[in-house]
């Protein structure tokens, strides 16, 4: 946990006049996501990786009230894999008492290491959760096709955008008691579904990533739109795949 | 009703530059709750207890337009139990004509005295009301399990957080003609369900509390999320308890 | 149409630093109502009567972009009844070209003259419209009981508040091709249902009034809440009246 | 692509203190449309034609974060028809790297040339998409009557407003893999339905136009309201046409 940086250097990592600085963006985007119902009740959040720095919100706080000075900064290259419960290397730890890094840390790392993502968003959107509830208990994935909004989603979250006629498929994994315990099953699903731009977690929410925060955000919006309309279609007994 | 404080001392209880001062927080949070549909039409509100001072909004006013100078301040230690209709001790009464303290006063007191809560929120959220309407007339409680958002809720509202595998149970009590007349049945339900973090009132809304305003607010969000998804599940004929 | 006031006197009727001045309030409230989905697409609005002055928004404009200088001011005492199509007396006409007074003028007048209301709100809320659509074609009124939000509604819109155990009844009248042609049927319904706090217009919306703009607004919120939950109850096949 | 204007003249086309300048309006309206869920995930947008200048947002960007300096300006009179994939004449191209003009360009042009529209709005509103999904696969159009909000819609989008008793009819065309490939089928539908104020695109969204941006916007609101209530009516098995 010790940082090689002086206090001034560490603070400079999160204090900036640039609204596009990751510490400012995370604060702003969490406020926006709160209004969308994605991160209420302290759930959900976003992590941004900029080169060798990873910016993280704290765990268990009101996401819509995060300030830049609450942001953790970690070196992307950790001295050991950031496994659940593992001790991590930090460049900057907020001075406010009682804050610990997001419990999603190893899950965000999955996106950074397995997809070279520049940002990863986690939401508790009810559209995502209802969608998993409306799938049979043993369903391995959610599929949808013939929707314009599919065109806003990239192959594997970071490749070329999908076509209107492609079928989008997103794996659904089971939830666990502790958030970090999703690390391995999320990684396994990402390996089994290399084209998937996101991972749905049954009765919990979704993880979405992208090359940049802009792509992670716009893909989260496209996917949330698709989850919402898929729920409506299932309730109206309309098929999700095909155009009939 | 007489206060031992001078006028200046009483005013100083609600006028502060600190956005986290209870009088400022109540005003701000009521605006936020209004946008969530929790306190429209003058209904609902929040009371904050800070040490020996209890801060209360007025009754029957537009909650989204409350200003700090409209806030009542009461000593937590009342010379008699703040029963329905009883005369209460005040430290500060707003000078604006026609204001009286919230009709929820003795209900908030239940949370302060029986759970040592630091804040209590009352909402008329339609999700809470629809949930009670979708329960059989003689249902004593609402139960749900296997939802990530359960993890944001504390045992008894003030203890340890629940686990994903715990079943959350919230008693449902009948509504009464006068808000204050809920005092005894709410207290009885709190005794019968010591682990419950909230009390649902049939055809009316919900009372939620926490150790602090932050915990009361984030638990209100988690519970409102759970009420909303439970309504959707019931309408889709999905079971609320279990993971099948 | 000629005003006895000088141009300066007429302008002074709508230009004020006081946020509670009717011209400022109408602009502000229309923005708020737009966000609630009550006055989109130029529909709906609010008129405030202050003593002998009536303040009106223009017809057919974007309600969320009204400015105080767009407000019409009329003497409450008109030289003839403000019937549909009739010429009205004005104290102030906005100088912006192409504006005419709200087509709801004679309907607002119904509330002012028959109920001595100080404000009247008209919305196109989908909850109101869906509620009329879910009623049989020949239903004369909507009834609901045993809802906490009923307690925010006043008898006749201007009397004592209703009790939780009262049954709220609101007449439903048929829509007409021209808004002003609702004048007589609205007045007839107000006579037949002296206790009704509002008039529902089938496939159109609702008119709600109160002693003051605050009461008109909070009653609009309570009624819209009740319309919304009544629609949900009807779709879920729950009875609107009774407590079973 | 070369412009006859100097750099200063081209920049002056989009930089203005006037909030009603098209470059400012497009930025503001896109933020508003984002909040309505019309243009999330980079989808949708608005183009304004002012005399011989057409103002266009860029393609594939976050619509709620557009700034005036991102706006393209084209001469309305193009040296060749702005067909899909065709090279277009520009008066001003944003200097920010990687921006290209909206893929809706030839579709907006349909509205400008075939209806002399002054503005055209494209949304991905879920109400529009669900409405197309709830129509039979071979339905050629959506029809509705006896709704007050029909009165806010103009014949052909630019003529006289419809009456409450008129039946509004909007053609539904099939979606294509590439947005620009909708150009011909949209034009064909506009010819076949000269009175239609909009074109619905199955599984995609809607195009709405008007004489001015105000009319395009208020008609988009009226139509979106009608799409939403029509979806509710279809799910509740209520007929869309007639008054029974």
Residue written as token pair 């006013």: B61
When scoring A40, A58, A135 by the number of chain B Cβ atoms within 10 A, the one with the most, hence best to mutate, is A40
- D14, part of any domain: yes
Q: Pick from B152, B164, B224: which is nearest to A175 by CB?
A: B164
Q: Look at residue A189 and give its three-state secondary structure.
A: helix
Structure confidence at residue C2 (pLDDT): 47
Q: Where are the alpha helices (DSSP H) in A67-177?
A: 105-114, 126-134
Tell me: pLDDT of C71 over 50.
yes
Token representation of residue D226: 């009608």
For chain A, how many structural domains are there in total? 1
Restricting to D residues 176-215, those with a Cβ less than 8 Å away from any Cβ of A are 176-177, 201, 203-205
User: Model confidence over D83-136: pLDDT tens digits?
Assistant: 777 789 999 999 998 899 999 999 999 999 999 999 999 999 999 999 999 999
Please state, in angstroms and rounded to a whole number, the distance separating the CA atoms of residues A137 and A132: 8
B125 touching C, CB under 8 A? no
Output the average pLDDT for chain C.
95
User: Model confidence over C92-135: pLDDT tens digits?
Assistant: 999 998 899 999 999 999 999 999 999 999 999 999 999 999 99
- C244, part of any domain: no
User: What residues of chain A lie within 8 A of the CB of B229, using their CB?
Assistant: 126, 129-130, 133
Sign of CA dihedral D210, D211, D213, D217: negative
Residue D112: which CATH number?
Answer: 3.40.225.10
User: What residues of chain A lie within 8 A of the CB of B236, using their CB?
Assistant: 133-134, 235
User: Model confidence over C187-233: pLDDT tens digits?
Assistant: 999 999 999 999 999 999 999 999 999 999 999 999 999 999 999 99
Structure confidence at residue C64 (pLDDT): 95
Give chain B as a 3 state SS string: CCCCCCHHHHHHCCCCCCCCCHHHHHHHHHHHHHHCCCCHHHCCEEEEEECCEEEECECCCCHHHCCHHHCEEEECCCCCCCCCCCCCCCCECCCCCCCCECCCHHHHHHHHHHHCCCEEEEECCHHHHHHHHHCCCCCCEEEEECCHHHHHCEHHHCCCECCCCCEEEEEEECCCCCHHHHHHHHHHHHHHCCCCCEEEECCCEEEEEECCHHHHHHHHHHHHHHHHHHHHHHHCCCCCCCCC
User: Model confidence over A206-228: pLDDT tens digits?
Assistant: 999 999 999 999 999 999 999 99
Largest CA distance in chain C: 63
- A68, part of any domain: yes
- A1, part of any domain: no
- A31, part of any domain: yes
* Band (C86; pLDDT cuts 50, 70, 90): confident
Which pairs from B31-39 meet CB under 8 Å and 24+ separation?
Answer: B31/B63, B31/B64, B33/B63, B33/B121, B33/B123, B34/B63, B34/B64, B35/B64, B36/B123, B36/B125, B36/B224, B37/B125, B37/B126, B38/B123, B38/B124, B38/B125, B38/B220, B38/B224, B39/B63, B39/B64, B39/B123, B39/B124
Which residues make beta-bridge pairs with D120? D47, D209
- Helix axis angle for D213-235 and D126-134, nearest 10°, is 50
* Band (A86; pLDDT cuts 50, 70, 90): confident
Distance, C-alpha A55 to centroid of its chain: 13
User: Model confidence over A91-121: pLDDT tens digits?
Assistant: 999 999 889 999 999 999 999 999 999 999 9
User: What residues of chain C lie within 8 A of the CB of D233, using their CB?
Assistant: 133
Structure confidence at residue A4 (pLDDT): 77
- A98, part of any domain: yes
- B114, part of any domain: yes
- D213, part of any domain: yes
Q: CA triplet B76, B79, B84: central angle to 5 degrees?
A: 80
Tell me: pLDDT of D1 over 60.
no
Closest residue on chain D to C236 (Cα): D236
Structure confidence at residue D53 (pLDDT): 97
Domain that residue B177 falls in: 7-235
A236 contact partners, CB below 8 Å, separation of at least 6: D133, D134, D235
User: Model confidence over D130-189: pLDDT tens digits?
Assistant: 999 999 999 999 999 999 999 999 999 999 999 999 999 999 999 998 888 999 999 999
Structure confidence at residue A1 (pLDDT): 42
Largest CA distance in chain A: 63
Please state, in angstroms and rounded to a whole number, the distance separating the CA atoms of residues A229 and D188: 29
């Amino acid at each position: 946990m010790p940082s090689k940086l002086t206090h001034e250097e560490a603070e400079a990592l999160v204090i900036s006049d640039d609204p596009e600085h990751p510490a400012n963006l995370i604060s702003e985007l969490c406020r926006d996501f709160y209004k969308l119902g994605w991160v209420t009740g302290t759930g959900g959040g976003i992590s941004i990786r900029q080169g060798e720095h990873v910016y993280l919100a704290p765990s268990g706080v009101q996401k819509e009230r995060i300030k830049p000075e609450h942001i953790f900064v970690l070196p992307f290259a950790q001295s050991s894999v950031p496994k659940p419960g593992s001790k991590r290397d930090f460049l900057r730890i907020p001075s406010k008492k009682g804050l610990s890094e997001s419990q999603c840390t190893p899950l965000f790392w999955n996106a950074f290491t397995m997809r070279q993502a520049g940002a990863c968003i986690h939401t508790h959107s009810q559209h995502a959760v209802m969608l998993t509830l409306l799938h049979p208990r043993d369903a391995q994935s959610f599929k949808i096709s013939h929707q314009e909004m599919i065109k806003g989603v990239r192959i594997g979250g970071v490749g070329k955008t999908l076509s209107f006629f492609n079928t989008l498929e997103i794996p659904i994994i089971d939830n666990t008691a502790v958030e970090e315990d999703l690390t391995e099953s999320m990684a396994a699903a990402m390996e089994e579904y290399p084209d998937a731009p996101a991972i749905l977690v049954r009765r919990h929410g979704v993880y979405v990533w992208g090359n940049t925060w802009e792509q992670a955000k716009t893909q989260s919006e496209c996917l949330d739109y698709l989850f919402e309309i898929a729920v409506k279609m299932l309730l109206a007994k309309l098929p999700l795949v095909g155009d009939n």
